[in-house]
Amino acid sequence: MQGEYIIKQISIFSENKPGRLAAIAEALEKSHVNIFAFSIAEANSFGVVRALVDKPDDARSVLEKLGFAVQFTDVIAVRMKDEPGGLHAVAQILGDAGINIEYAYAYSGKEAAVLILRVSQAGEAISKIQAAGGSLLRESDLG
């Protein structure tokens, strides 16, 4: 089952204005949403905040109520081997399969570092990584 390894990321479009990021964090905290992983990509006056949280639907509705533009994005999470070259190995597997990595970010999970990947074909990426012996996380494994 590949589907169980697809994780719902919330993506928030935000202008680079003072207080915007704080407002997102505060809103999530108030509604008891835990943030597992978090990344920001920015260009001049705007940016995209990406987060993995324990309750994506709650997070989305609370942020939308505050006027934020929120989307769900499918990402996959790879357990990184605690040895040099782990990231390179994943990139190699996907590259060989012709799968583009749109972006990636990492966080330190319970047991090992976790690499979050946004790829052009998530299903395909999952089978390639598994076939190469890689270990993927389910939504329930996050934290």
Q: What residues line the site for another protein (CB under 8 A)?
A: 9, 11, 13-15, 41-48, 50, 67-69, 71, 73, 102-103, 118
Q: Closer to another protein at the Cβ: 5 or 105?
A: 105
What is the closest distance, in whole angstroms, from the C-beta atom of residue 131 to another protein in the complex?
27
**8 Å CB contact between 63 and 24:** yes
Q: How far is the CB of 121 from another protein (least distance, A)?
A: 15
The rounded distance, in Å, linking the Cα atoms of 32 and 13 is 21
Beta-carbon contacts of 129 under 8 Å, excluding residues fewer than 6 positions away, are 76, 78, 90, 93, 94, 136
C-beta closer to another protein: residue 50 or 128: 50
Shorter beta-carbon distance to another protein: residue 25 or 131: 25
C-alpha–C-alpha distance, residues 63 and 72, integer Å: 12
| Shortest distance, position 98 Cβ to another protein, whole Å | 18
